[in-house]
A and B are shown apart, each in its own frame.
Chain A
Amino acid sequence: MSAVIEFQHVTKVYQRLFSEEKLAALSDVSFEMAPGQVCAFLGPNGAGKTTSISMLMGFFFPTSGQIRVFGRPPGDLASKQQIGFLPENFAFHKFLTAPKLLRFHLQLAGRNPNNAGSLIADLLNKVKLNGFEKLKIGKYSRGMVQRIGIAQALLCDPKLIVLDEPTSGLDPAGRREVLQLLTQLKAEGKTIFLSSHILPEVEQIADHVIIINRGRMVRSGSLRELLTSDGRVEILADRVPDDLRQSVLRDAVVEPGPNGVRVLVDPARKRQAVEALWAAGCDVIAMTPQRNTLEELFLKEVDAPGGAQ
């Protein structure tokens, strides 16, 4: 199946007019995103996330490299027909009401807004804005603006949904609702490209993670692989003899805990460690695979030498 989004050696360098000073916002970034995936695009502030999304949407042009969306160049009308986009800090025409804004966007999408009453009502209901149909968007709270932004992104039943910080400005309840909405969209088979700073939430829905830092892609892969790749196995025993610490468990982390001694070993050596503990007459109470959180992985990558400044 062909990729929905393809970045091939994409570089973006900003240069001011009449100035020699150059700033590389993105350097040689390559990745692909398969249909039906939820891809989390992560990075600290200034990492190049919004630049990448802007190039994906055809707002910026790469200095070198190639971007394809549904096999076409960014900005192509046929591919834009299939994309729902929520920009960071969604801006709006303040004098419009939510139904008028959605009708306007339907017209922009080339659809007839006259028979869209039920579609608009459903969408407003979905983002919990029903009851505010007569209120002008200029009077909305930040969270309500974000919700109407999400509604307009979902307006034409897009195959690809690009969301730049969708939960920004929302309270915890609002964030949970957006998360539920994204889970529902994922179940419907939509492809979602998502940039967010709220990593525990991203971790709940993402299949694939791309981490960029200072314009370079530092990590990419399936979420499960990334979170377990350098995870260890925790063995909880009642005691650990000293001779084992010097031999079989010499590469393991051994530390006393409230319920016994905690031994952290490499997954490849867990069997050997457990058998050695049994053979020494120790009681093995529990064995649990250790899994990183996305937040830990993210901080590890951006705090690595040469990471974020």
Chain B
Amino acid sequence: MRIRAIALNTFSGLLRNKIIILFCAGIVCILLLMLTPLLVIRNGRGAQNAEMMQMAVLPLIASMMQLVSGFGSLLAAWAAADVISSEMRSGTVLAVLARPVRRWEFLLGKFLGVQLMMLIFVVLMLGLNYLLAWIGGATIQTTPWVLIVYPLVRYMVYSALGILLVTMMHPILAFCIVLVVMIASSLVAPGNPQSFMPDWLRTGIFYVLPSSNLLSETRFLTITRATLRAAVWTDHVTALTYGLDYALVCFLLAAWIFHSRSLSRD
């Protein structure tokens, strides 16, 4: 009951968070701008336009998905860092933890509140992808669970990482570190051809940082053909377990640090 109350209260707060509203407004503007050429081509007539449409729509969806996916990870990290730090900054944490609430319950409630917001984000973005495909006259032939569960697990990893970092430092610094982690993890991903890093460093970083690549739904989605690449169930289980495990370790570390830190108005 306590965790649920904190989660729902966090979710209500996030829906009113000006920075997050601004973030989301920004991404909607970018998506609308990307949509403009698609609509221009769609409104044209003739065989050439139809061919251009076919060529344009699926790569556009692919790039939009990547944008939304990257943005979602940053949003998850920022939201998680902000919900903890804003409670510390305002001092509301003192009134909450004066109640019979354990510190890890407080963190878990905050974490779940963020996941609730990210679930809505994922569902909205999934709807947007289907809408785009419909505008382009294509269909995304996949089972939707991959497009929901994979991003959610990835967002769990980044929000747990955000919570872990913000228990030790300022939220902006925590967010910057998450950003660096995201970039570094994409640089060391197995499919990336970059070679400026020695192999031992690349492998080391690959094992330490969360693998966004492994947890990417686009790994299973052949975007240009809008079909789900066949993957054995063990592949899904391994990837998702890895993600959940990474998130759990980050959360447990955060709970351990938060348990022993002094709580005062920052």
Contacts and interface: CB of A to CB of B under 8 A. Distances in A.
Interface of A: 54, 57-61, 77-78, 80-81, 83, 85, 87, 89-93, 95-96, 104-105, 107-110, 149, 152
Contacts of B9: 93, 96, 104
B90 A105 contact: no
Interface of B: 1-2, 4-6, 9, 12-13, 16, 90-92, 94-102, 260, 262-265
A152 B95 contact: yes
B263 A59 contact: yes
B100 A54 contact: no
26 contacts: A54-B264, A58-B97, A59-B262, A59-B264, A60-B263, A77-B102, A80-B100, A81-B100, A85-B98, A87-B91, A90-B95, A91-B91, A91-B92, A91-B94, A93-B92, A95-B13, A95-B16, A96-B9, A104-B5, A104-B9, A108-B5, A108-B100, A108-B101, A109-B100, A110-B2, A149-B95
A60 B100 contact: no
A59 B102 CA distance: 12
B263 A108 contact: no
A219 B101 CA distance: 35
A251 B208 CA distance: 81
A85 B263 CA distance: 15
A90 B93 CA distance: 10
A54 B95 CA distance: 11
A60 B99 contact: no
A91 B100 CA distance: 18
Contacts of B265: 91
Contacts of A83: 98
A91 B96 CA distance: 10
Contacts of A60: 262-264
B4 to A, nearest CB: 8
Given A81-B100, A87-B91, A95 B12 contact: yes
Contacts of B100: 77-78, 80-81, 108-110
Contacts of A95: 12-13, 16
A80 to B, nearest CB: 4
A87 B95 CA distance: 7
Contacts of B260: 61
Given A57-B94, A77-B100, A109-B100, 11 more contacts: A54-B262, A57-B97, A60-B262, A61-B262, A80-B98, A87-B91, A93-B9, A93-B13, A104-B5, A108-B5, A149-B95
Contacts of B2: 107-108, 110
B99 A108 contact: yes
B264 A92 contact: no
- Most chain-A CB neighbours within 10 Å: which of B4, B95, B260, B265? B95
Contact of B1 (A57, A61, A80, A107): A107
Of the listed residues A58, A107, A110, A152, the one surrounded by the most CB atoms of chain B closer than 10 A to its CB is A107
B95 A91 contact: yes
A59 B97 contact: yes
A207 B89 CA distance: 35
Contacts of B97: 57-59
B130 to A, nearest CB: 32
A96 B12 CA distance: 9
